[in-house]
């Protein structure tokens, strides 16, 4: 069974606000890939790569490139 149609208006800056009823079906999704196909606009949840998730976790922990370089150097010591 399909969901009822909900309108979204394009602003003068080519922006759309996604209706709450739609967004609630995609918890935790902040980005969508967008493409045009057969006269339709297709939005699909964008999944970050695992590498990007690791980079974000490192940033959240305050770990920077010099810290990683130091850790690698430490691990390679004999």
User: Tokens representing 46?
Assistant: 């964008």
- 40-45 and 32-37 beta bridge pairing: antiparallel
Q: What is the pTM of this model?
A: 0.53
The whole-angstrom separation of Cα 56 and Cα 30 is: 14
Considering only CA atoms, which of 36, 38, 46, 2 is closest in space to residue 22? 2
Note down pLDDT in tens along the chain; length 78 residues: 567 788 889 999 999 999 999 999 999 888 999 999 999 999 999 877 788 888 889 999 999 999 999 999 999 997
Specify the pLDDT at position 51: 86
Largest CA distance in the chain: 65
Q: Give me the pLDDT at residue 50, please.
A: 81
């Amino acid at each position: 069974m399909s969901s009822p149609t909900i309108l979204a208006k394009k602003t003068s800056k080519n922006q759309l606000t996604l209706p709450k009823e739609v967004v609630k079906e995609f918890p935790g999704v902040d980005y969508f890939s967008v493409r045009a196909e057969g006269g339709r606009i297709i939005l699909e949840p964008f999944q970050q790569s695992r590498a990007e998730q690791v980079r974000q976790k490192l940033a959240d922990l305050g770990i920077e490139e010099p810290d990683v370089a130091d850790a690698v150097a430490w691990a390679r010591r004999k």
